[in-house]
Structure 1
Amino acid sequence: MVTTPDYAHPGPAQDAIAALRGAALLEFGTAWCGHCQAAQPLVAAALAAHPGLPHIRVEDGKGRPLGRTFHVKLWPTLVFLHDGREVARLVRPASAADVAAALARIAPPAAPVSATRLPDRAP
C-alpha cells in the first residue's frame, strides 16, 4: 500500500485530488486525535487486501481548504475516491470490515498470492 506516513500539512490541493486516476483513500484527521489513532489498525487491516492503493492522510483543522471542500466535521473521516470523485465515506470507522466494504466499492481486493502446484508427470 502507498500510504502517506504522517498527516500531510497542508495536504494536496483540490485539483490534485480531482486529477487522481483509479481508486484512492483520502483520510482526514490529526496525529493527536484519539479517534484517529484508534482507527489506524482498522484502516491498515482493510488496506492489506489492496496493495498499491494510494492512502493519502491529510491533517485537518479549522480553515484547512481541502477538509472544507469535503465538508469534514469529525475525525477521522475516510473518503473513498475513484477517478478523483467521492464514492463512499466513513466517519470514525468502527471495524476493519466497515473499511473493507467501502474499499470494495472503489477497488476489488487483490487476489491472494499462493503457491501453484504443477501436476505430477507420469514416468
Structure 2
Amino acid sequence: MSAYTEQAPARAEVDAFSGVTVLQFGTNWCGFCNAAEPHIAQALQEFRVTHPELRHFKVEDGPGRPLGRSFKVKLWPTVIFIKDGAERARVVRPDSAEAVTDAARQLDLP
C-alpha cells in the first residue's frame, strides 16, 4: 500500500493529461482513507488489467493544498476519474471495490 504524497501535479498539468488519470485525495493518518484503501486498490488493480496506461496519484490533501481545492474536495478519501483532462466521475469514501468500479465505468472506455 503506497502512501499519500505531498508531491502532486499542478491543476494545469492534470487538465492537459491525455488518457485516464485517477486522483485519490486523502491523508496517511485518515481512518476513512485507511478503511477504503483495500477497496480502491482492488478496483484500480482490476481496471489496470485492461487499461495499463492509467495514471494514479495519491495526493495528500488538506487546507491550502491547491489541487484538492481546485477539485472542491471536502471529504477523504475522494477518488476522481479524469479522461483527457476532464472529470468524468468521482466517488467519496467508497465502502466497496464495486463503488470504485462503478465510477470507473463512467469513463466510457472500451
TM-score bracket, shorter-length normalisation: 0.7 to 0.9
User: Structure 1 unaligned runs (5+)?
Assistant: 110-123
Counterpart in the other structure of 2:30: 33
Aligned-pair identity (%)? 49
**CA positional deviation for 1:6:** 2.5
* TM-score computed with the length of structure 2 as normaliser: 0.88
Summarize the alignment of residues 88-103 of structure 1 with structure 2, pairs less than 5 Å apart: 88-103=89-104
1:97 match: secondary structure: helix
The count of aligned residue pairs is 106
**RMSD, matched Cα:** 1.7
Counterpart in the other structure of 2:87: 86
Counterpart in the other structure of 1:64: 65
Larger Rg: 1
Write the distance in 1 (CA, Å) between the matches of 2:7 and 2:35: 23
Q: Greater helix percent: which structure?
A: 2
Counterpart in the other structure of 1:118: none
* TM-score computed with the length of structure 1 as normaliser: 0.79
Please identify runs of 4+ aligned residues in structure 1 that moved more than 4 A: none
User: Structure 2 unaligned runs (5+)?
Assistant: none
Write the distance in 1 (CA, Å) between the matches of 2:45 and 2:65: 29
